[in-house]
Amino acid sequence: MSVLDSKVPEGPIKDKWTTYKDKINLVNPANKRHIDIIVVGTGLAGGSAAATLAELGYNVKAFAYQDSPRRAHSIAAQGGINAAKNYMGDGDSVYRLFYDTVKGGDYRSREANVYRLAEVSANIIDQCVAQGVPFARDYGGLLDNRSFGGVLVSRTFYAKGQTGQQLLLGCYSAMNRQIARGKIEMYNRHEMLDVVKIDGKARGIIARNLITGELERHSAHAVVIATGGYGNVYFLSTNAMGSNATAAWKIHKKGAFFANPCFTQIHPTCIPRSGDYQSKLTLMSESLRNDGRIWVPAKLEDAKAIQQGKLKPTQIAEEDRDYYLERRYPAFGNLVPRDVASRAAKERCDAGYGVNATGEAVYLDFATSIERYGKEQAKIHGITNASKEKITELGEAVIEAKYGNLFQMYEKIVDENPYKTPMMIYPATHYTMGGVWVDYNLMTTVPGLYCIGEANFSDHGANRLGASALMQGLADGYFVLPYTIGDYLSDDIRTGAIPTDTKEFDETEKEVRERIDFFLNNNGTKTVDHFHKRLGKVMWDKVGMSRNAKALKEAMAEIKQIREEFWKDVKVPGGANEMNPELEKAGRVADFLELGELFAKDALIREESCGGHFREESVEMDGEQEGEAKRNDKDYAFVSAWEYKGEPADAVLHKEELEFKDIELKQRSYK
């Protein structure tokens, strides 16, 4: 029998969450004043959790490694947030959002968690509107929606191309209200370096003040990790440079199982890499695929001419363009899920049809939409026999209203006007569906230790649908954790304050200090970035969009070798008691070098293709789905949850068998 207990309530799926809430233990308002909760990370998940828990009356200590929660990486989310409100009257429902999410994740997520997510999604929009989030509105003043990949309805609420920023500002305002009331104690520029367990329960953390370098002890009755994903294990990703896996990895090493690390999303709509000197990649929102058509030249000679700068995309006739997503997936077209679109782009570029100097780019073209919108606007404004120039002008104005800041960002980076020349895009590492294993309560395998948002594994299976990350983060923080954590904390109303002058805090702080001292005293010759880049290259080349057993075994051996060299030859300048970004990076890359090997190990044992995990040995060989990913439900319909045992290669696998009672397991098709 598995040591994993998902704690999913009994009964029909539509009643599980309601019945659960009706029967849980509660903490009365007077007792909440005597309970402390630590929240690590203040993006949408952590920020919404901190604000809500403080509003309920708990004492919250919130930690951010940035100088303000406003700078959390949630701010970078562009396209929107899903919710099953059916404002467009196009057939959406809670069940359809549930179904699309499970199918989009290639049937590798826990049904009960996903249904709850769909169920509370509508509440998120009401909450954010009440906070003043300026969602886009239609002509009549009602909230507007657009469509994202993997769905046949429009359910994505958005604020131009700045949705994450606007949602974070709403969340931040809720936090600030509680900071002013003294219910949230805010620790900016602090990084959690380890969790402290007392009698098996999470009771605090060791944090480093990133300005002074001082190590601090903080205690609480429960600890919540909300620190995002681990995409920067690839070095080049769409994540902010500071995004890291340290908090999640440290709790893994203290007993929290790590689930599905190989389920990582490659986003198809990113600005292509331009050279080896780059330190990060830039995302172009998936929302652009509503109006942009993706294509490459149909003729190899045209592609070669474009790569050599002898031909422009606007010179290629319509009949000489291959709109390959529309050709392969007529039902969903350019709005297929991210994993499908990414692999299709890679296949075309690998075949030689790429459209930039490196041959690693495809076009995202808005000319058709500009013309369509222009003609529509001409009719609306009563302009008869409008010239081509006038139609283009009117159409570009519509596109600018919907995506203006994204087009501006693209032009600043690439130095080309995307209104006149098609954008160039290529897949890049983006979101991580894997993460810390949690049960239905969002608790890890360590009592009192919770994990929410992208840092956990729970809702997206093997592939996240666009606009679902913000939905999960806010659902966890505003509407799920405040209930589930109360059930646990009801046993702590007589515990009293947790002291920090205990042997457990002493030992954990000593471990943290010894590691810092090692980095600063190691007389190596190579920078932290040297090792991070080497790790990233191995990850992208051998554990990237396409994987096979031989390469995965090589990756494990190579990552282990890089890790051994890192501990012998890393050079970290500066001191411990000062602001030292290189010291920060050293600790984070040390964690990535362990996580990367477990990542490859997880990919190796999963001998199937599903979602973002594509094994070359597991492909449909014939029929309508020829060339597509081949899932193996008989042997791999489980969550792989890894227990730390020292070396990543020695990690022990625990399986949470997935049950599908409300959705039929079948081949995922978008044709």
Residues annotated catalytic, as ranges: 338
CA nearest 614: which of 535, 551, 522, 665?
551
Element holding 195 (H helix, E strand): strand 190-198
Pair of tokens at residue 342:
């990414």
372 in Cβ contact with 399 (< 8 Å): no
User: What whole-number distance in Å separates Cα of residue 564 and Cα of residue 546?
Assistant: 26
Q: How far is CA 242 from CA 40, 222, 379, 581, in A?
A: 15, 25, 49, 10
Length of the chain: 671
Neighbour-count burial of 189, counting CB atoms closer than 10 A to its CB (0-12 exposed, 13-18 middle, 19+ buried): middle
Paired with 615 in beta bridges are 547
153 in Cβ contact with 92 (< 8 Å): yes
Paired with 224 in beta bridges are 39, 450
CA nearest 39: which of 178, 215, 233?
178
Q: How far is CA 658 from CA 307, 398, 421, 641, in A?
A: 46, 45, 47, 12
Print burial letters for 354-381: b (CB count within 10 Å at least 16), e (below 16). bbbeebbbbbbbbbebbeebbeebbeee
Locus of tokens 């058509």: 293
Task: Give the distance between the most distant pair of CA atoms in the chain.
Answer: 83
The DSSP result for 60-127, as a single string, is EEEE-SSSSGGGSGGGG--S-EE----TT-SS--HHHHHHHHHHHTTT-S-HHHHHHHHHHHHHHHHH
E strand segments, 335-483: 362-365, 423-432, 435-436, 449-451
User: What whole-number distance in Å separates Cα of residue 607 and Cα of residue 635?
Assistant: 9
Strand 184-187 versus strand 156-157 pairing type: unpaired
User: What whole-number distance in Å separates Cα of residue 644 and Cα of residue 391?
Assistant: 61
Fill in the DSSP letter of residue 115: H
Helix ranges restricted to H, 381-492 = 388-414, 469-474, 481-489
Q: Give the sign of the dihedral formed by CA 232, CA 230, CA 452, CA 611.
A: positive
Strand 638-643 versus strand 258-259 pairing type: antiparallel
User: What whole-number distance in Å separates Cα of residue 156 and Cα of residue 149?
Assistant: 10
The DSSP result for 247-288, as a single string, is HHHHHHHTT--EE-TT-EEEEEEEPPP--TT-----B--GGG
What's the gap between Cα 106 and its chain centre?
17
What's the gap between Cα 118 and its chain centre?
18
Paired with 190 in beta bridges are 209
Pair of tokens at residue 553:
């075994």
- For 73, the 3-state DSSP assignment is helix
User: What whole-number distance in Å separates Cα of residue 368 and Cα of residue 389?
Assistant: 14
109 in Cβ contact with 296 (< 8 Å): no
